[in-house]
Structure 1
Amino acid sequence: MPVTRNSATLTLGGIVLAALLAVIGHAGVDGLDPLSLTVSDYAVSESGGAIHLAMLTLAAASAVLVLGLRRLDRPTGAAGTRRGRVGTAQVLVAAWAGGLLLAGLIPTNPPGTEMGTAAYVHRYASVVAFLALPLAGWLIAAQLPATARTARWLRGLTIASLLLAAVMVWSAYPGDRAYYGLIERALILAEVALLTVLATVGGRVGAVTPVRGA
Protein backbone atom coordinates (compact mmCIF):
# COMPACT_ATOMS: atom_id res chain seq x y z
CA MET A 1 0.00 0.00 0.00
CA PRO A 2 1.27 3.52 -0.80
CA VAL A 3 1.12 4.86 2.74
CA THR A 4 1.05 2.71 5.86
CA ARG A 5 -2.22 2.34 7.77
CA ASN A 6 -0.65 3.85 10.88
CA SER A 7 0.50 6.94 8.98
CA ALA A 8 -2.94 7.34 7.42
CA THR A 9 -4.71 6.96 10.77
CA LEU A 10 -2.45 9.46 12.53
CA THR A 11 -2.74 11.98 9.69
CA LEU A 12 -6.52 11.69 9.47
CA GLY A 13 -6.84 11.95 13.25
CA GLY A 14 -4.71 15.09 13.21
CA ILE A 15 -6.84 16.61 10.45
CA VAL A 16 -10.06 15.97 12.42
CA LEU A 17 -8.57 17.41 15.63
CA ALA A 18 -7.24 20.48 13.78
CA ALA A 19 -10.65 21.09 12.21
CA LEU A 20 -12.33 20.87 15.62
CA LEU A 21 -9.83 23.31 17.13
CA ALA A 22 -10.34 25.74 14.23
CA VAL A 23 -14.11 25.69 14.76
CA ILE A 24 -13.63 26.30 18.48
CA GLY A 25 -11.28 29.19 17.73
CA HIS A 26 -13.81 30.81 15.40
CA ALA A 27 -16.75 30.27 17.74
CA GLY A 28 -14.95 32.03 20.59
CA VAL A 29 -14.48 35.29 18.66
CA ASP A 30 -17.06 38.08 18.47
CA GLY A 31 -17.06 41.20 16.33
CA LEU A 32 -14.89 39.92 13.46
CA ASP A 33 -16.10 39.37 9.90
CA PRO A 34 -15.07 35.96 8.46
CA LEU A 35 -15.86 37.16 4.93
CA SER A 36 -13.14 39.81 4.98
CA LEU A 37 -10.72 38.78 7.75
CA THR A 38 -8.38 35.81 7.50
CA VAL A 39 -8.00 32.84 9.82
CA SER A 40 -4.74 34.42 10.98
CA ASP A 41 -6.65 37.57 11.96
CA TYR A 42 -8.87 35.40 14.15
CA ALA A 43 -5.79 33.69 15.58
CA VAL A 44 -4.47 36.95 17.07
CA SER A 45 -7.78 37.67 18.82
CA GLU A 46 -8.30 36.98 22.51
CA SER A 47 -9.68 33.50 21.78
CA GLY A 48 -7.29 32.67 18.97
CA GLY A 49 -5.11 30.19 20.83
CA ALA A 50 -7.17 27.28 19.55
CA ILE A 51 -6.48 28.32 15.95
CA HIS A 52 -2.73 28.42 16.52
CA LEU A 53 -2.98 24.98 18.08
CA ALA A 54 -4.96 23.81 15.04
CA MET A 55 -2.12 24.94 12.74
CA LEU A 56 0.46 23.11 14.84
CA THR A 57 -1.68 19.97 14.95
CA LEU A 58 -2.12 19.99 11.17
CA ALA A 59 1.63 20.53 10.74
CA ALA A 60 2.35 17.48 12.92
CA ALA A 61 -0.19 15.36 11.02
CA SER A 62 1.42 16.40 7.74
CA ALA A 63 4.89 15.51 9.01
CA VAL A 64 3.66 11.97 9.68
CA LEU A 65 2.44 11.80 6.09
CA VAL A 66 5.89 12.78 4.79
CA LEU A 67 7.28 9.58 6.28
CA GLY A 68 4.42 7.49 4.93
CA LEU A 69 4.91 8.69 1.36
CA ARG A 70 8.13 6.69 1.20
CA ARG A 71 6.02 3.62 0.45
CA LEU A 72 5.25 5.04 -2.98
CA ASP A 73 8.93 4.89 -3.85
CA ARG A 74 9.16 1.37 -5.28
CA PRO A 75 11.81 0.25 -7.77
CA THR A 76 9.36 -0.67 -10.55
CA GLY A 77 9.12 0.69 -14.06
CA ALA A 78 11.09 3.86 -14.66
CA ALA A 79 12.46 3.81 -11.13
CA GLY A 80 14.54 6.96 -11.46
CA THR A 81 11.56 9.03 -12.59
CA ARG A 82 9.33 7.57 -9.89
CA ARG A 83 11.84 8.18 -7.13
CA GLY A 84 12.37 11.73 -8.30
CA ARG A 85 8.65 12.45 -8.16
CA VAL A 86 8.12 10.86 -4.76
CA GLY A 87 11.18 12.55 -3.29
CA THR A 88 10.06 15.93 -4.59
CA ALA A 89 6.55 15.33 -3.27
CA GLN A 90 7.97 14.51 0.17
CA VAL A 91 9.96 17.76 0.14
CA LEU A 92 6.84 19.70 -0.84
CA VAL A 93 4.69 18.12 1.88
CA ALA A 94 7.50 18.88 4.34
CA ALA A 95 7.46 22.50 3.12
CA TRP A 96 3.69 22.60 3.70
CA ALA A 97 4.18 21.21 7.21
CA GLY A 98 7.03 23.63 7.91
CA GLY A 99 5.01 26.58 6.65
CA LEU A 100 2.12 25.63 8.92
CA LEU A 101 4.51 25.23 11.85
CA LEU A 102 5.97 28.71 11.36
CA ALA A 103 2.52 30.24 10.84
CA GLY A 104 1.31 28.57 14.01
CA LEU A 105 4.29 29.69 16.09
CA ILE A 106 4.68 33.21 14.67
CA PRO A 107 1.45 35.22 14.66
CA THR A 108 0.53 37.93 12.19
CA ASN A 109 -0.23 41.51 13.23
CA PRO A 110 -3.68 42.40 14.63
CA PRO A 111 -6.11 43.75 12.00
CA GLY A 112 -5.63 47.46 11.29
CA THR A 113 -2.05 47.61 12.57
CA GLU A 114 1.20 47.92 10.66
CA MET A 115 2.93 44.70 9.62
CA GLY A 116 6.18 43.90 11.39
CA THR A 117 8.86 41.29 10.74
CA ALA A 118 6.88 38.54 12.46
CA ALA A 119 3.83 39.28 10.33
CA TYR A 120 5.88 39.03 7.13
CA VAL A 121 7.37 35.71 8.26
CA HIS A 122 3.86 34.47 9.00
CA ARG A 123 2.58 35.63 5.60
CA TYR A 124 5.31 34.08 3.48
CA ALA A 125 5.35 30.85 5.48
CA SER A 126 1.65 30.58 4.66
CA VAL A 127 2.31 31.31 0.98
CA VAL A 128 4.92 28.54 0.81
CA ALA A 129 2.51 26.11 2.47
CA PHE A 130 -0.43 26.98 0.22
CA LEU A 131 1.66 26.49 -2.94
CA ALA A 132 3.66 23.43 -1.87
CA LEU A 133 0.81 21.04 -1.03
CA PRO A 134 -1.05 21.25 -4.37
CA LEU A 135 2.19 20.60 -6.26
CA ALA A 136 2.82 17.55 -4.05
CA GLY A 137 -0.69 16.31 -4.75
CA TRP A 138 -0.12 16.57 -8.51
CA LEU A 139 3.13 14.60 -8.29
CA ILE A 140 1.54 11.85 -6.20
CA ALA A 141 -1.36 11.66 -8.67
CA ALA A 142 1.22 10.95 -11.37
CA GLN A 143 2.29 7.85 -9.42
CA LEU A 144 -1.20 6.35 -9.63
CA PRO A 145 -3.10 4.88 -12.59
CA ALA A 146 -4.62 7.74 -14.61
CA THR A 147 -8.09 6.21 -14.23
CA ALA A 148 -7.86 5.78 -10.44
CA ARG A 149 -10.45 7.79 -8.53
CA THR A 150 -7.80 8.96 -6.08
CA ALA A 151 -5.67 10.37 -8.90
CA ARG A 152 -8.68 12.27 -10.29
CA TRP A 153 -9.45 13.72 -6.87
CA LEU A 154 -5.85 14.77 -6.33
CA ARG A 155 -5.69 16.50 -9.72
CA GLY A 156 -9.05 18.19 -9.21
CA LEU A 157 -8.18 19.47 -5.75
CA THR A 158 -4.76 20.62 -6.97
CA ILE A 159 -6.36 22.69 -9.74
CA ALA A 160 -8.99 24.07 -7.34
CA SER A 161 -6.32 25.03 -4.80
CA LEU A 162 -4.14 26.82 -7.34
CA LEU A 163 -7.13 28.67 -8.81
CA LEU A 164 -8.25 29.78 -5.35
CA ALA A 165 -4.69 30.91 -4.57
CA ALA A 166 -4.75 33.02 -7.75
CA VAL A 167 -8.11 34.52 -6.73
CA MET A 168 -6.61 35.37 -3.33
CA VAL A 169 -3.77 37.23 -5.02
CA TRP A 170 -6.31 39.13 -7.13
CA SER A 171 -8.36 40.00 -4.04
CA ALA A 172 -5.27 41.11 -2.10
CA TYR A 173 -4.20 43.63 -4.73
CA PRO A 174 -6.54 44.84 -7.52
CA GLY A 175 -9.60 43.40 -5.78
CA ASP A 176 -9.22 45.62 -2.69
CA ARG A 177 -9.42 42.51 -0.46
CA ALA A 178 -13.00 41.76 -1.50
CA TYR A 179 -14.18 38.58 0.26
CA TYR A 180 -10.56 37.89 1.17
CA GLY A 181 -11.43 35.87 4.28
CA LEU A 182 -14.01 33.79 2.43
CA ILE A 183 -11.59 33.01 -0.40
CA GLU A 184 -8.87 32.02 2.07
CA ARG A 185 -11.21 29.66 3.91
CA ALA A 186 -12.24 28.05 0.61
CA LEU A 187 -8.55 27.58 -0.19
CA ILE A 188 -7.88 26.04 3.23
CA LEU A 189 -10.80 23.64 2.79
CA ALA A 190 -9.53 22.59 -0.65
CA GLU A 191 -6.01 21.97 0.65
CA VAL A 192 -7.15 20.09 3.75
CA ALA A 193 -9.33 17.96 1.47
CA LEU A 194 -6.27 17.30 -0.69
CA LEU A 195 -4.27 16.31 2.39
CA THR A 196 -7.10 13.99 3.43
CA VAL A 197 -7.09 12.26 0.04
CA LEU A 198 -3.32 11.80 0.26
CA ALA A 199 -3.74 10.18 3.67
CA THR A 200 -6.62 7.91 2.64
CA VAL A 201 -4.59 6.46 -0.23
CA GLY A 202 -2.87 4.29 2.35
CA GLY A 203 -6.07 3.31 4.09
CA ARG A 204 -7.09 0.94 1.28
CA VAL A 205 -4.75 -2.04 1.04
CA GLY A 206 -4.28 -2.97 -2.59
CA ALA A 207 -6.96 -0.56 -3.79
CA VAL A 208 -4.48 1.33 -5.95
CA THR A 209 -1.12 0.26 -7.25
CA PRO A 210 1.61 2.50 -8.58
CA VAL A 211 1.59 2.99 -12.33
CA ARG A 212 4.36 1.10 -14.08
CA GLY A 213 6.69 2.70 -16.53
CA ALA A 214 5.46 6.23 -15.63
Structure 2
Amino acid sequence: MPTTSRAAVSPVSPVHGRLALVGIGAAVLIATDLHLRLSAQISPIWQTLSEYVYGRLGDHSAARLFTVMCLALALGSLALLAGLVKARRSPAVVILLGGWCAGLTICATVPVDPHGEARSFDGQLHNAAALTAFLALPTAAWLLTRRGGRSCPWEPRRTTIRWLAVASFASVAVVLGGFVFTLVTGPAQQEVTLGLFERLLFTVDLALLLTMVRPLVAASRR
Protein backbone atom coordinates (compact mmCIF):
# COMPACT_ATOMS: atom_id res chain seq x y z
CA MET A 1 0.00 0.00 0.00
CA PRO A 2 2.75 2.58 0.80
CA THR A 3 4.44 1.76 -2.50
CA THR A 4 1.23 2.51 -4.39
CA SER A 5 0.86 5.82 -2.57
CA ARG A 6 4.35 6.93 -3.52
CA ALA A 7 3.76 5.97 -7.14
CA ALA A 8 0.65 8.13 -7.24
CA VAL A 9 2.63 11.24 -6.37
CA SER A 10 4.19 13.11 -9.28
CA PRO A 11 8.01 12.97 -9.13
CA VAL A 12 9.59 16.36 -8.59
CA SER A 13 13.21 17.48 -8.88
CA PRO A 14 14.67 19.71 -6.14
CA VAL A 15 17.81 20.18 -8.28
CA HIS A 16 15.78 21.79 -11.07
CA GLY A 17 14.05 23.95 -8.48
CA ARG A 18 17.35 25.21 -7.08
CA LEU A 19 18.73 25.92 -10.55
CA ALA A 20 15.57 27.86 -11.36
CA LEU A 21 16.00 29.96 -8.21
CA VAL A 22 19.62 30.74 -9.14
CA GLY A 23 18.59 31.96 -12.61
CA ILE A 24 15.63 33.99 -11.36
CA GLY A 25 17.68 35.43 -8.49
CA ALA A 26 20.47 36.50 -10.85
CA ALA A 27 17.94 38.21 -13.13
CA VAL A 28 16.43 40.10 -10.18
CA LEU A 29 19.86 41.29 -8.99
CA ILE A 30 20.83 42.52 -12.46
CA ALA A 31 17.46 44.22 -12.99
CA THR A 32 17.85 46.01 -9.65
CA ASP A 33 21.36 47.11 -10.58
CA LEU A 34 20.18 48.47 -13.94
CA HIS A 35 17.34 50.38 -12.27
CA LEU A 36 19.63 51.96 -9.69
CA ARG A 37 22.50 52.88 -11.99
CA LEU A 38 20.50 53.99 -15.03
CA SER A 39 17.65 55.85 -13.34
CA ALA A 40 18.96 59.18 -14.66
CA GLN A 41 19.09 57.87 -18.26
CA ILE A 42 16.11 55.51 -18.56
CA SER A 43 12.85 56.57 -16.94
CA PRO A 44 11.29 53.69 -14.98
CA ILE A 45 7.94 55.44 -15.40
CA TRP A 46 7.85 56.10 -19.13
CA GLN A 47 10.42 53.80 -20.73
CA THR A 48 10.36 50.01 -20.95
CA LEU A 49 12.85 47.54 -19.52
CA SER A 50 14.09 46.73 -23.02
CA GLU A 51 15.37 50.28 -23.43
CA TYR A 52 18.13 49.61 -20.92
CA VAL A 53 20.14 48.34 -23.92
CA TYR A 54 20.67 52.00 -24.84
CA GLY A 55 21.91 53.00 -21.39
CA ARG A 56 25.56 53.76 -20.64
CA LEU A 57 27.51 52.52 -17.64
CA GLY A 58 30.55 54.74 -17.74
CA ASP A 59 32.34 54.05 -21.01
CA HIS A 60 30.41 50.84 -21.64
CA SER A 61 26.97 50.03 -23.00
CA ALA A 62 24.43 48.47 -20.66
CA ALA A 63 23.26 46.20 -23.49
CA ARG A 64 25.43 43.28 -22.39
CA LEU A 65 24.12 43.44 -18.83
CA PHE A 66 20.52 43.53 -20.09
CA THR A 67 21.25 40.49 -22.28
CA VAL A 68 22.68 38.58 -19.31
CA MET A 69 19.59 39.47 -17.26
CA CYS A 70 17.21 38.09 -19.89
CA LEU A 71 19.29 34.96 -20.47
CA ALA A 72 19.56 34.29 -16.72
CA LEU A 73 15.78 34.47 -16.43
CA ALA A 74 15.39 32.26 -19.51
CA LEU A 75 17.80 29.65 -18.10
CA GLY A 76 16.09 29.72 -14.72
CA SER A 77 12.75 29.23 -16.46
CA LEU A 78 14.27 26.41 -18.52
CA ALA A 79 15.25 24.66 -15.30
CA LEU A 80 11.64 25.01 -14.14
CA LEU A 81 10.51 23.60 -17.49
CA ALA A 82 12.81 20.58 -17.03
CA GLY A 83 11.35 20.08 -13.56
CA LEU A 84 7.82 20.15 -15.00
CA VAL A 85 8.80 17.57 -17.61
CA LYS A 86 10.15 15.28 -14.88
CA ALA A 87 6.96 15.82 -12.90
CA ARG A 88 5.02 14.69 -15.99
CA ARG A 89 3.00 17.85 -16.35
CA SER A 90 0.78 18.52 -19.37
CA PRO A 91 2.62 18.89 -22.73
CA ALA A 92 0.69 22.15 -23.24
CA VAL A 93 2.25 23.59 -20.07
CA VAL A 94 5.73 22.56 -21.22
CA ILE A 95 5.23 24.06 -24.70
CA LEU A 96 3.90 27.34 -23.30
CA LEU A 97 6.75 27.65 -20.81
CA GLY A 98 9.10 26.91 -23.69
CA GLY A 99 7.48 29.83 -25.52
CA TRP A 100 8.23 32.05 -22.53
CA CYS A 101 11.90 30.93 -22.57
CA ALA A 102 12.17 31.44 -26.34
CA GLY A 103 10.60 34.90 -26.11
CA LEU A 104 13.08 35.93 -23.42
CA THR A 105 15.98 34.66 -25.52
CA ILE A 106 14.86 36.70 -28.53
CA CYS A 107 14.42 39.79 -26.36
CA ALA A 108 17.96 39.25 -25.07
CA THR A 109 19.51 39.06 -28.53
CA VAL A 110 17.30 41.33 -30.68
CA PRO A 111 17.13 44.94 -29.42
CA VAL A 112 13.99 47.03 -29.24
CA ASP A 113 13.78 50.17 -31.38
CA PRO A 114 15.17 53.31 -29.68
CA HIS A 115 12.53 55.48 -28.02
CA GLY A 116 10.76 57.71 -30.55
CA GLU A 117 12.45 56.28 -33.65
CA ALA A 118 10.87 54.58 -36.67
CA ARG A 119 9.84 50.94 -36.36
CA SER A 120 12.29 48.36 -37.74
CA PHE A 121 11.97 44.63 -38.40
CA ASP A 122 14.22 43.81 -35.43
CA GLY A 123 12.22 46.09 -33.17
CA GLN A 124 8.94 44.51 -34.22
CA LEU A 125 10.43 41.03 -33.72
CA HIS A 126 11.49 42.04 -30.22
CA ASN A 127 8.00 43.34 -29.42
CA ALA A 128 6.33 40.20 -30.80
CA ALA A 129 8.66 37.98 -28.78
CA ALA A 130 7.97 39.96 -25.60
CA LEU A 131 4.21 39.77 -26.12
CA THR A 132 4.41 36.03 -26.81
CA ALA A 133 6.44 35.48 -23.65
CA PHE A 134 4.17 37.60 -21.46
CA LEU A 135 1.09 35.73 -22.69
CA ALA A 136 2.65 32.27 -22.59
CA LEU A 137 3.76 32.35 -18.93
CA PRO A 138 0.39 33.05 -17.24
CA THR A 139 -1.33 30.64 -19.64
CA ALA A 140 1.15 27.92 -18.67
CA ALA A 141 0.60 28.70 -14.99
CA TRP A 142 -3.18 28.52 -15.38
CA LEU A 143 -3.02 25.14 -17.13
CA LEU A 144 -0.49 23.85 -14.60
CA THR A 145 -3.05 24.24 -11.84
CA ARG A 146 -5.91 22.36 -13.43
CA ARG A 147 -7.26 20.11 -10.71
CA GLY A 148 -5.05 17.03 -10.51
CA GLY A 149 -5.91 15.62 -7.11
CA ARG A 150 -3.94 15.69 -3.88
CA SER A 151 -0.97 14.01 -5.56
CA CYS A 152 -0.28 17.14 -7.65
CA PRO A 153 2.55 19.15 -5.99
CA TRP A 154 1.06 22.40 -7.32
CA GLU A 155 -2.46 21.80 -5.97
CA PRO A 156 -1.84 23.48 -2.55
CA ARG A 157 -0.79 26.67 -4.36
CA ARG A 158 -3.49 26.56 -6.99
CA THR A 159 -5.33 29.67 -5.80
CA THR A 160 -2.16 31.78 -5.48
CA ILE A 161 -0.86 30.75 -8.90
CA ARG A 162 -4.19 31.47 -10.56
CA TRP A 163 -4.56 34.89 -8.94
CA LEU A 164 -1.05 35.80 -10.08
CA ALA A 165 -1.87 34.53 -13.58
CA VAL A 166 -4.96 36.76 -13.68
CA ALA A 167 -2.88 39.73 -12.47
CA SER A 168 -0.34 38.99 -15.20
CA PHE A 169 -3.03 38.90 -17.90
CA ALA A 170 -4.46 42.18 -16.61
CA SER A 171 -1.02 43.81 -16.65
CA VAL A 172 -0.41 42.56 -20.20
CA ALA A 173 -3.71 44.12 -21.28
CA VAL A 174 -2.72 47.49 -19.81
CA VAL A 175 0.78 47.39 -21.33
CA LEU A 176 -0.53 46.28 -24.73
CA GLY A 177 -3.22 48.97 -24.66
CA GLY A 178 -0.63 51.61 -23.78
CA PHE A 179 1.69 50.41 -26.53
CA VAL A 180 -1.08 50.55 -29.14
CA PHE A 181 -2.13 54.00 -27.92
CA THR A 182 1.47 55.27 -28.21
CA LEU A 183 1.82 53.64 -31.62
CA VAL A 184 -1.31 55.41 -32.90
CA THR A 185 -0.80 58.83 -31.31
CA GLY A 186 3.01 58.97 -31.37
CA PRO A 187 5.55 59.21 -28.52
CA ALA A 188 4.95 62.95 -28.12
CA GLN A 189 1.36 62.22 -27.05
CA GLN A 190 2.24 59.41 -24.65
CA GLU A 191 -0.10 59.54 -21.67
CA VAL A 192 0.13 55.93 -20.45
CA THR A 193 3.00 55.22 -18.05
CA LEU A 194 4.13 52.25 -20.14
CA GLY A 195 7.39 51.72 -18.26
CA LEU A 196 5.70 51.63 -14.86
CA PHE A 197 3.06 49.11 -15.92
CA GLU A 198 5.65 46.91 -17.65
CA ARG A 199 7.67 46.83 -14.45
CA LEU A 200 4.52 45.85 -12.58
CA LEU A 201 4.02 43.05 -15.11
CA PHE A 202 7.65 41.96 -14.69
CA THR A 203 7.25 41.86 -10.90
CA VAL A 204 4.03 39.84 -11.10
CA ASP A 205 5.65 37.36 -13.48
CA LEU A 206 8.65 36.95 -11.19
CA ALA A 207 6.28 36.19 -8.30
CA LEU A 208 4.43 33.74 -10.54
CA LEU A 209 7.65 31.94 -11.49
CA LEU A 210 8.76 31.70 -7.87
CA THR A 211 5.39 30.28 -6.84
CA MET A 212 5.63 27.69 -9.63
CA VAL A 213 9.18 26.76 -8.57
CA ARG A 214 8.40 26.39 -4.87
CA PRO A 215 6.94 22.83 -5.03
CA LEU A 216 10.17 21.64 -6.66
CA VAL A 217 12.32 23.13 -3.90
CA ALA A 218 9.94 22.03 -1.14
CA ALA A 219 10.37 18.41 -2.24
CA SER A 220 13.90 18.39 -0.79
CA ARG A 221 12.49 19.01 2.71
CA ARG A 222 10.24 15.96 2.72
Which of these residues, 10, 19, 30, is aligned with residue 21 of structure 1? 30
Q: Is residue 125 from structure 1 mapped to residue 129 from structure 2 by the alignment?
A: yes
Which of these residues, 69, 73, 76, is aligned with residue 54 of structure 1? 69
Output the CA distance in 1 between the equivalents of 2:84 and 2:109.
Answer: 26
Deviation at 1:28, TM superposition (A): 2.4
Output the CA distance in 1 between the equivalents of 2:177 and 2:197.
Answer: 11
Please give the residue correspondences for 1:145-160 in structure 2 after superposition, counting only pairs within 5 Å: 145=149, 148-160=155-167
Deviation at 1:174, TM superposition (A): 3.9
- Aligned position for 1:77: none
Mapped contact 2:147–2:155 kept (Cα < 8 A): no
> Identity of paired residues, percent?
27
- Aligned position for 2:180: 173
Q: Is residue 43 from structure 1 mapped to residue 53 from structure 2 by the alignment?
A: yes
- Aligned position for 2:86: 71
In our comparison, the structure showing a higher alpha carbon Rg is 2
Pick which of 92-101 and 198-207 moved more: 198-207
TM-score by length of 1: 0.84
Aligned residue for 2:56, secondary structure, equals: coil
| Gap runs ≥5 in structure 2 | 1-9, 183-189
Amino acid at match of 1:55: C
Question: Structure 1 residues 89, 207: closer, same or farther in 2, change over 3 A?
Answer: farther
The one-character-per-residue Cα deviations of 1:121-174 (angstroms, maximum 9, x if unpaired) are 111000000000000001111155599441111101100000111111222234
Q: Quote the RMSD (CA, aligned, Å).
A: 2.2
- Aligned position for 1:182: 196
Mapped contact 1:36–1:177 kept (Cα < 8 A): no
Matched residue pairs, number? 197
Amino acid at match of 2:138: P
Mapped contact 1:12–1:61 kept (Cα < 8 A): yes
Mapped contact 1:138–1:154 kept (Cα < 8 A): yes
Output the CA distance in 1 between the equivalents of 2:220 and 2:123.
Answer: 45
- Aligned position for 1:76: none
Please give the residue correspondences for 1:83-98 in structure 2 after superposition, counting only pairs within 5 Å: 86-98=90-102
Mapped contact 1:138–1:158 kept (Cα < 8 A): yes
Question: Structure 1 residues 88, 66: closer, same or farther in 2, change over 3 A?
Answer: same
Output the CA distance in 2 between the equivalents of 1:23 and 1:93.
Answer: 24
List structure 1 segments (4+ residues) > 6 angstroms apart after TM superposition: none
Output the CA distance in 2 between the equivalents of 1:143 and 1:202.
Answer: 18
Amino acid at match of 2:70: M
